[in-house]
Structure 1
């Protein structure tokens, strides 16, 4: 057994007592091929300091072997020693057989550090040297995708898929339909999914497939993929709002509510699920459930005006007028939406608090002065107030232009002119 083998065997047994001694013996006695393998294994095991020592010894013995310099540079860059690593890579001559390897390591370094244009320049130079190398094409495709060059990425992914459906751990089918979707070609993306359904195996691909099928209105297929995501990983929280949305499109309120409640069990911070679940519960006339969901949602996100307004609408429906007023007690007028003022106006009206109702109607009026439902309610209210004939006439003038066939309101108008 070589000293290199003894060292690796000791590492696998977690015996590090003789590590330095065995490494020195390996460097002094083992053949270069064995040492090269040792350095690679040490690097894989995470013993980068030992690997660097081996590569430096090999470079000292074989100064013309640039591949050892590339391997050492890669370790140095991974360890954060950028200057020394880049210096080694840039000193590899263009005429060297290892120049291509140097370019690939440089590209990876620049990509990792967010310098995508520089990384692409390195890969384009590499592609000129090895135009049939799929690893380079894949690297370019990923860079183009990351930098928003989707047309260029699409062409490269399509070329790669002719020979393989995956590259390393990356599902190329997923990349292909995602790129189509990024280009706004959702129908094309959905066709890719349909033709390659057997290749959509990993959970992220299924989620993305569900997202695309939802975008093209194929709710059944969206549900199929999203159900698979949740079956595979119930805590995949992003799938639940999409699943609820697909069922909402199908007017399946029971499944919307079930999906929302299931999702909230894993992520109680999802404000969208509170809203969707409450809406579905209300449609099912499960008003207590709807109210409970909205109250919990506001406990999680007290500043969510949509949830607050949704609860306000529910209170009006349930004739819980004081609850509706209390819901906005802590808010200033400038933080209230016009719909809130309308809702408060109705609540105060039904509680016979006319002055406050009048104020709220007037605050809501600028936004809803062309809304016939609002104008009718406002006219009916002000018609009960003393000295309000002029206001009622102005409101009815607007209303009857929008709803000239409303005989009851026309009669009211005739009575005040």
Structure 2
């Protein structure tokens, strides 16, 4: 013990030469207890190669000793020699007191290699060897969580929670909340998120709580938590779009648009923020601002079909038919085959009196929208203007069949039939 303390004191005081001399003396002629104690202390201080030499020396005298093997394996892991660690640990016999600990370490190493099934088998064996050890339950929960097996992960996190709120520096309430949320049990997750935040406010936990509240329909709670997160870390870019959605659900559209604006200031390349901002601006009747935001979304992603469709609706509402055609051509219909573009183009070309192109687009859209009353109505009236009365009559007959009380359809069918 005195020799160990002397070596550690020398190391702490920067007297490395003297410490190495003392260390070599212990390695060469020290008693086993002295070597073991010094090796443990050196590991704690990060002198891994020196600790490894002592543990390897001890194994010459105590081959197969589980406690020594586990410590040596941990040292190997710390220097990146995982394969050596695995080979050592696999040698420990089932009746060794350190067998369960070895299985846990093996499971961790196999998990790092992506061998999840092997890792699971090791932990299941550890559970048999150490049925009451919380560390095994925690390791199984972490493994299943990483594998996406949330149901099993929840089972083992709940076992850990019976005795520990926190384990290995990890909040069990947080882990349990994340698994419940990931499995769609949003309401069940909320109390665990709240408990985790009571114990320690951490931004990822705060985001998870806010997002889960939004998914559960607790919009006010989501707003409160997202706003708290924004105050703690304004650079947490992911929060802004979700905050805007929460405000929208509460019909607080100005607040929602402000959240989008704040988000764009932090992340101007987020097309979804521009897109959602455009939709919000439209709801608020701010058409010019909506157009700008939607155009910015398309500038970021020229193939952003959803943004183009919303912008086209605005142009059609404003009777800007040439802009409709320009936008569709810019989006490139061949690459982004969206049937709605054909319908939009048909309406635009019809108003621009380019009837041949209008007819082509109506025909292209027809297979997709033949069950859509609004489309069939547009197409039917276009056919009347084109003089295709027989085909128009068939369309309005079909509409009348679907809606027998519609007097307009009935009148049209009668007049077209007479023609």
TM-score range, shorter chain: 0.7 to 0.9
User: Secondary structure, in 3 states, of the residue corresponding to 1:2?
Assistant: helix
| 1:294 to partner: Cα distance | 1.5
In 2, Cα distance between equivalents of 1:112 and 1:370: 54
Partner of 1:393: 393
**TM-score with structure 1 length normalisation?**
0.87
Moved more, 31-40 or 206-215: 31-40
Partner of 1:107: 107
Q: Cα RMSD (Å) of the superposition?
A: 2.9
Partner of 2:171: 171
User: Secondary structure, in 3 states, of the residue corresponding to 2:237?
Assistant: coil
Whether 1:351 aligns to 2:355 is no
Moved more, 227-236 or 106-115: 227-236
Partner of 2:96: 96
| 1:314-345 Cα deviation digits (max 9, x unpaired) | 22223222121111225245743111111111
Contact 1:4 / 1:34 at 8 angstroms: preserved in 2? no
Partner of 1:340: 341
User: Secondary structure, in 3 states, of the residue corresponding to 1:237?
Assistant: coil
Contact 1:174 / 1:200 at 8 angstroms: preserved in 2? no
| 1:298 to partner: Cα distance | 1.5
Partner of 1:281: 281
Partner of 1:13: none
Alpha carbons of structure 1 residues 152 and 338: separation in structure 2 relative to 1, 3 Å: closer
Whether 1:26 aligns to 2:23 is yes
2:11 to 7, 11, 14: 7
Alpha carbons of structure 1 residues 5 and 197: separation in structure 2 relative to 1, 3 Å: closer
In 2, Cα distance between equivalents of 1:148 and 1:399: 49
| 1:62 to partner: Cα distance | 5.8
Contact 2:278 / 2:290 at 8 angstroms: preserved in 1? yes
Alpha carbons of structure 1 residues 332 and 206: separation in structure 2 relative to 1, 3 Å: closer
| 1:280-302 Cα deviation digits (max 9, x unpaired) | 01111122221122122122222
| 1:94-137 Cα deviation digits (max 9, x unpaired) | 34333333222212211222222322332233333333221122
Unpaired runs of 5+ in structure 2? none
Alpha carbons of structure 1 residues 291 and 42: separation in structure 2 relative to 1, 3 Å: farther
In 2, Cα distance between equivalents of 1:273 and 1:290: 12
| 1:267 to partner: Cα distance | 3.0
Whether 1:379 aligns to 2:380 is yes
| 1:45-71 Cα deviation digits (max 9, x unpaired) | 655334323433444566575423322
User: Secondary structure, in 3 states, of the residue corresponding to 1:273?
Assistant: helix
Partner of 1:224: 224
Contact 2:312 / 2:324 at 8 angstroms: preserved in 1? yes
| 1:31 to partner: Cα distance | 7.7
User: Secondary structure, in 3 states, of the residue corresponding to 1:163?
Assistant: coil
In 1, Cα distance between equivalents of 2:8 and 2:194: 52
Moved more, 221-230 or 79-88: 79-88
Contact 2:86 / 2:109 at 8 angstroms: preserved in 1? no
User: Secondary structure, in 3 states, of the residue corresponding to 2:189?
Assistant: helix
Alpha carbons of structure 1 residues 33 and 228: separation in structure 2 relative to 1, 3 Å: farther
Partner of 2:145: 145
Contact 1:321 / 1:351 at 8 angstroms: preserved in 2? yes
Alpha carbons of structure 1 residues 56 and 307: separation in structure 2 relative to 1, 3 Å: same
**TM-score with structure 2 length normalisation?**
0.86
| 1:20 to partner: Cα distance | 6.2
Contact 1:4 / 1:35 at 8 angstroms: preserved in 2? no
In 1, Cα distance between equivalents of 2:196 and 2:49: 45
- Count of aligned positions: 409
In 1, Cα distance between equivalents of 2:128 and 2:12: 39
